[in-house]
Amino acid sequence: MKTFILIHGSWHSSWNWHRVIPILEKQGHRAIAIDLPGMGRDKTPIQEVKMQSTVEKIVKLIDSIEGKVILVGHSKNGIMISQAAEYRPDKIEKLVYLAAYLIPNGKTQREYSLQDTQGVLKPYVTMHEELKAHTLQPEIYKEGLYADCDDNITELAKLLLSHEPAESGITPLQLTEENYGRVPRIYIECTEDKAVTPFIQRKMYTETPCEKVYSLPTSHSPFFSKPQELSDIFLEIALG
């Protein structure tokens, strides 16, 4: 049995994984999805959320689990699993980046996001300076996030998506080869992604090589559109 910790991406929360968790559990694994600070059911005031406290929440969960975990990060929050691995390299069996930001030491997520000029989301991001956070306008949800998903997912998103803390996107990662560098990395690219495009995904996993790269012909949200196919990859990773 393996323990998966599933980390959601920008604006989202633990509900991302509701179709994947039962599949993993049916195969005898444990799967835990959490709401990051200020997201979902976590009531931390959004303007108080920092990258450090977010990583600390992940690390605290890792510390509460006996044995090693497989840590999965989606989208922007690939940065969170990287930083967590720097702090707990001996507790993480594998890092899995799902259409996620795989950023080297000293760089920021925003630096790579700015290079991704073909993505469709940026014109629809609204910054709220007083909250140090941003939101995504609902009219781009379907095309940008859920193009191949059931329409009810888009409708759910209109109720569930929330503010995204801005500070983490401009915080440089602090990673070393001695810690982060010895945790095996796996990348799952989404080849029809319009949020984190295939161009920037490939750039990142080429610059920071991974043990294996899987490809899914999906939009940015395969946990909704292809939960079985995504789970099959997770299960293969667990066996590897």
Q: State the virtual CA torsion across 52, 56, 62, 64 in degrees, nearest 10.
A: 180
Within a 10 A sphere around the Cβ of 207, how many other Cβ atoms?
12
**193, 219, 225, 231: which one is catalytic?**
193
Catalytic residue list contains 162: no
Q: Exactly one of 10, 13, 14, 75 is catalytic; which is it?
A: 75
Active site includes 75? yes
Active site residue 193: yes
Task: Considering the candidates 8, 220, 221, 231, report the single residue annotated as catalytic.
Answer: 220
List active site positions.
Answer: 75, 193, 220
